[in-house]
Amino acid sequence: MCTTGGMRNQEIADAIDYDESNVWNTMTTLQGSGIVEQVPVPGPQRWRLTAPYRQEFRGAGEFLKAVTTAPAKQRPFLDRAAEWATRLEARGLAELTTSRGEVTELHVSIPGERSPLVTVNVPSSIWLFGGMFSKRAPRAEARVRELIGQQLTGRLTVQKEKRTDELLDALTAAYEEAAMGRTGAE
């Protein structure tokens, strides 16, 4: 929803593992608060964050700038996560965008898709999107679940002690699985 083109109700529902029928009610409530707006385009209804909450940049550059403002003890994780994401992008497994609003987020999206499997943000969180895992990387989902010790539903914040290199390896496998589905390779 950080892009000017926004997202359809179904895309929002898939990204957060939410029932599509509830998305409209949620979006209209957020619209009343000035947080989201309808995108004025023909076709299916689309929603986006309002301008004060939305700035989007290609790549990880703006994210890396924001990392320098994070508390010193958070930076090693943020640097590792950014390095991991840029390696995925170099391999053609991900497209990176950075959005700035109340927090700065690095969206690690499957090429050609708006919804990411993973988002990393400053000051220091990593979010996994359960609906995208079940849709695009169901085999890798089991290993990720094992490493974080909980089900992948909705938008899940990974606990600090679970943010390991082993988790980043499992997330790499998820992006590799999604790429195989995209190319039809097995």
Encode pLDDT of 104-152 as tens digits: 889 999 998 877 899 998 887 898 988 889 999 999 999 999 999 999 8
Structure-block tokens of residue 69: 């403002």
Mean pLDDT of 14-25: 84
Beta strands per DSSP E along the chain: 7-8, 36-38, 46-49, 56-58, 95-100, 104-109, 116-122, 125-129, 155-157
Encode pLDDT of 65-107 as tens digits: 999 999 999 999 999 999 999 999 999 999 999 988 767 889 9
Distances in whole angstroms, Cα of residue 105 to Cα of each of 70, 78, 109, 147:
13, 11, 12, 23
Extents of the domains making up the chain: 7-53, 56-183
Q: Are 78 and 124 in contact (CB under 8 A)?
A: yes
Domain 7-53 in CATH 3.30.450.260? The answer is no
Task: Give SS3 for 55.
Answer: coil
As a residue count, the chain comes to 186
Encode pLDDT of 44-54 as tens digits: 888 888 877 77
Structure-block tokens of residue 52: 């004060």
